[in-house]
Structure 1
Amino acid sequence: MNSPITVSTLNEQIKGILETTFCSVYVEGEISNLTYHNSGHIYFSVKDNKSTISCVMFKGNAQYLKFRLEVGAKIVISGNITVYTPRGNYQLLCQKIEPSGVGALALAYEQLKTKLQIKGYFDKSIKKQLPLYPQNIYVITSNTGAAIEDMKKILNARYPLCNMILLPTLVQGEGAKENIVQNIKKADEMAKDSLENSILIVGRGGGSIEDLWAFNEEIVSDAIYTAKITVISAVGHENDFVISDFVADVRASTPSNAIEISTPHINELRQYTDNLMNDLNHKFRTILLQKEQELKHFKKSFEQQSFTKRFEFIESKISNMNQQFQNALKQIIKMKEENLHFTKNNFLLNHPSNKDKKGFVQLSADNKIVNLSQINENDIITIQNSKITADCKVISKNIIDKM
């Protein structure tokens, strides 16, 4: 009869058989019982409609996952069978996981895009406006690529008044995402005193999705979102869209396009300046003419209100009053002359010497000289000349018809 073996020995023998027999497996199934452990390990199960197997992916391999595992997702696992001898459990040790039917990068892209959209990273209301006339453009890209040279040429041609500050950065491969985040923070610190006149361009030239992947990393999106400087994402070509394009304040189709949309053209500014000068000259001439007219008006008004004008006015009034006085005096003198002439004539007519003319006598009644038309029948009148007076009674009065 054989001697019995220990449970540990049995489990070790099973472990050796399973791990050597199933050293490389390729399994497809649906995720369940998913746990992301604080240690960085991932524990879950995969199942089909008939059975389930436990799985583990340790931190060393989990850090290279491009997408996040989700319950119910269908995946393809590359790995091997291992046995946890203390419990006698076997499990699938995952070395690589791919989404079933879709690429890992494509899935990771959509997962992160959805996550950040929910967090509000793409909200248009928080996007900062580009300054009209930037003074400093900070550029995060490779210092050896063609993109930076094109950007320099375009900036020198379009807007040489602006400074370009290059922060040489890894834009693909190991350490790229960390370097990008580091330089975003550095540019933000450098521009803290001139944020309203500064722009940060984060980008690179074209490449495969793997080459551009650093700009699809969550930590890069977080750095862009929290940056105080206005950020332009300029990655790849016009048809390339990365997560940083949605998070940034402005998306440019290429690095060269980032310079074009962020700077005015110097020739347009020259033309604009010429127009401003023409408008200024026109307004200046208009204002001068207006002030000249006002000055003439004030001068004329001053002249009219001056002492000379007042003296002239008073002198004119005095002259008019003098003329009026002279005219009035002449009228009075003329009237007096006429009255005097009338009195003289009347005196001459009534002079006593005229009374002695033959047939002429003076008629008076009640000691008043009257003429013949003033007496009536039965009036007592006195007739006289220079020598004789006679009281008479009017017997009758007849009107002589001259017809």
Structure 2
Amino acid sequence: MNSPISVTTLNTQIKSLLETTFIQVYVEGEISNLTYHNSGHIYFSIKDANSTISCVMFRGNAKYLKFQLEVGQKINISGNITVYAPRGNYQLLCNKIEPSGKGALALAFEQLKEKLDAKGYFKAEIKKTLPKYPKKIALVTSPTGAAIEDMKKVATHRWPLVEFILIPTLVQGEGSAFDISNSIKYADSLNCDVMIVGRGGGSIEDLWAFNEEIVANAIYEAKTPIISAVGHEVDYLISDFVADVRAATPSNAIEIALPDINEHRMYLDNVSNEYQNRFNNILLNKQQKLTNLKTLFIQNSIESKFEYIQSEIKMLKSSFRTDLIQKINSTQNELNLFNSTFKNSISSILSKSQSQLDLLKSSYEMNHPDKKDKNGFVQISKENKIISMDTISIGDKIELQSPKYIATCTVNNLEKQ
């Protein structure tokens, strides 16, 4: 019968057997009992429907973990089996952990995005406004990359008046996130008008430093307006969401930050033309007003008034003469008409009077007493008035007259025949 071995020996033999047999394992399971230790180590278990195994990821490997482990999360682990001999416990020593069905970087991106969104890093109301005419721009980027040359070229053509301050920064690899964060803090202390944080294109791993929380914090805490310009149009990083403005590329960041000098030249040309047109219109209006005032002044001057009065006098004289001549002619015509009428009237009157006179003469001649001296005929008068026999009464004193004699008689008898 063999001699018994010690517990330590047994555990040592088991440790040697397991660690040499399961040198490389690749296992899938669901996280439980998760603990992030102050030392930087991560302790947890993975399980399936029937079993559980303890796991540990030491600090040296944990610092390369791109995402945050969470209870209930399904993961794939690459590692090996190790045994803790003093307790006889075996566990899975994790070298690399990937989320099951999803890339680690994609999951880390979503986790950090949700975390920062919950903290209010992406709120539109906290975004700072870019100045319209920046005089000084800080560039947080690599001094050797193509991005800096592209930005300088665009700036030269777009707005050469701007001053750039380059903050040489490590933009990929180990320690790049820490360096970007420090560069942002330093640039923020330079009192620049705008800060551009970015780099040219690359793989997601190359750009990953701009997805780190330390960079997001530096951008959020900066007082200077920041444009995030990382990668290409299709690349969206955490820095894009936290920054005040996102640019598709570093060149696009310059286009956003700077005004277009050609547009301003055209604008100035338009303003100059508009100014000249308005100035010419004002001069033309003033000239027209001056001409009108001059004309009005001339019209209302003493000389003009005298000339007007003189012309009025001449016109009145001419009118008076014309009227006078017309009146004289009219009066003359009236006089001629009157003379003609008067002559005709006088002639008619004279003719009529002559006719009457001739009639009276004829009557007189016919009734002349000398021609009435006939036997038996006398003229009867009373009180020197010739009367007829019809007016005589008995006792009247009458006179019987003939051309040669007057007889005074008293009527004693009066008989009607």
Do these two structures clear the TM 0.5 threshold for a shared fold by scoring above it? Answer: yes
In the alignment, the residues of structure 2 paired with residue 103 and residue 142 of structure 1 have an alpha-carbon distance, to the nearest angstrom, of: 28
Q: 1:93 maps to which residue?
A: 93
In the alignment, the residues of structure 1 paired with residue 139 and residue 256 of structure 2 have an alpha-carbon distance, to the nearest angstrom, of: 14
For residue 189 of structure 2, give the secondary structure of its aligned residue in structure 1. Answer: helix
1:123 partnered with 2:111: no
Q: 1:367 maps to which residue?
A: none
Alignment match of 2:220 (pick from 205, 221, 225): 225
Cα shift at 1:273:
3.3
Alignment map for 1:10-29 (pairs within 5 Å):
10-29=10-29
Q: Deviations over 1:251-303 (max 9, x none)?
A: 0001000001111111222233344456667788899999xx9xxx9xxxxxx
Cα shift at 1:247:
0.6
Cα shift at 1:167:
1.3
Alignment map for 1:1-400 (pairs within 5 Å):
1-191=1-191, 194=192, 198-277=193-272
For residue 83 of structure 1, give the secondary structure of its aligned residue in structure 2. Answer: strand
Q: 2:374 maps to which residue?
A: none
2:108 maps to a residue whose letter is A
For residue 190 of structure 1, give the secondary structure of its aligned residue in structure 2. Answer: coil
Q: 2:367 maps to which residue?
A: none
Moved more, 11-20 or 65-74: 11-20
1:206 maps to a residue whose letter is G
Cα shift at 1:86:
1.9
Q: Deviations over 1:378-398 (max 9, x none)?
A: xxxxxxxxxxxxxxxxxxxxx
For residue 122 of structure 1, give the secondary structure of its aligned residue in structure 2. Answer: coil
* Greater radius of gyration (CA): 2
Q: Deviations over 1:8-43 (max 9, x none)?
A: 222222111111111111111000011111111000
Cα shift at 1:168:
1.6
Equivalent pairs, count: 294
Cα shift at 1:119:
1.0
In the alignment, the residues of structure 1 paired with residue 77 and residue 2 of structure 2 have an alpha-carbon distance, to the nearest angstrom, of: 41
In the alignment, the residues of structure 2 paired with residue 265 and residue 159 of structure 1 have an alpha-carbon distance, to the nearest angstrom, of: 6
CA RMSD of aligned residues (A): 2.6
In the alignment, the residues of structure 1 paired with residue 97 and residue 245 of structure 2 have an alpha-carbon distance, to the nearest angstrom, of: 35
In the alignment, the residues of structure 1 paired with residue 4 and residue 134 of structure 2 have an alpha-carbon distance, to the nearest angstrom, of: 84
2:186 maps to a residue whose letter is K
In the alignment, the residues of structure 1 paired with residue 96 and residue 197 of structure 2 have an alpha-carbon distance, to the nearest angstrom, of: 31
For residue 196 of structure 2, give the secondary structure of its aligned residue in structure 1. Answer: strand
2:174 maps to a residue whose letter is E
Q: What residue ranges of structure 2 are gaps of 5+ in the alignment? A: 294-417
In the alignment, the residues of structure 2 paired with residue 97 and residue 108 of structure 1 have an alpha-carbon distance, to the nearest angstrom, of: 12
In the alignment, the residues of structure 2 paired with residue 84 and residue 279 of structure 1 have an alpha-carbon distance, to the nearest angstrom, of: 87
In the alignment, the residues of structure 2 paired with residue 239 and residue 147 of structure 1 have an alpha-carbon distance, to the nearest angstrom, of: 17
Q: 1:287 to 1:187 in 2, by over 3 A?
A: farther
In the alignment, the residues of structure 2 paired with residue 159 and residue 236 of structure 1 have an alpha-carbon distance, to the nearest angstrom, of: 23
In the alignment, the residues of structure 1 paired with residue 95 and residue 155 of structure 2 have an alpha-carbon distance, to the nearest angstrom, of: 48
For residue 87 of structure 2, give the secondary structure of its aligned residue in structure 1. Answer: coil
Cα shift at 1:44:
0.3
1:241 maps to a residue whose letter is Y
Q: 1:390 maps to which residue?
A: none
Q: Deviations over 1:98-124 (max 9, x none)?
A: 111111111111111111111111111
In the alignment, the residues of structure 2 paired with residue 157 and residue 137 of structure 1 have an alpha-carbon distance, to the nearest angstrom, of: 16
Identity of aligned residues (%): 70
Q: 2:365 maps to which residue?
A: none
Q: Deviations over 1:182-206 (max 9, x none)?
A: 1101100112xx5xxx111111111
In the alignment, the residues of structure 2 paired with residue 66 and residue 287 of structure 1 have an alpha-carbon distance, to the nearest angstrom, of: 71
Q: 1:344 maps to which residue?
A: none
2:173 maps to a residue whose letter is G
In the alignment, the residues of structure 2 paired with residue 284 and residue 12 of structure 1 have an alpha-carbon distance, to the nearest angstrom, of: 102
In the alignment, the residues of structure 1 paired with residue 281 and residue 69 of structure 2 have an alpha-carbon distance, to the nearest angstrom, of: 74
Q: Deviations over 1:181-233 (max 9, x none)?
A: 11101100112xx5xxx111111111111111111111111111111110001
Cα shift at 1:72:
0.7
1:6 maps to a residue whose letter is S
TM-score by length of 1: 0.68
In the alignment, the residues of structure 1 paired with residue 92 and residue 174 of structure 2 have an alpha-carbon distance, to the nearest angstrom, of: 28
Cα shift at 1:84:
1.2
For residue 46 of structure 1, give the secondary structure of its aligned residue in structure 2. Answer: strand
In the alignment, the residues of structure 2 paired with residue 67 and residue 269 of structure 1 have an alpha-carbon distance, to the nearest angstrom, of: 48
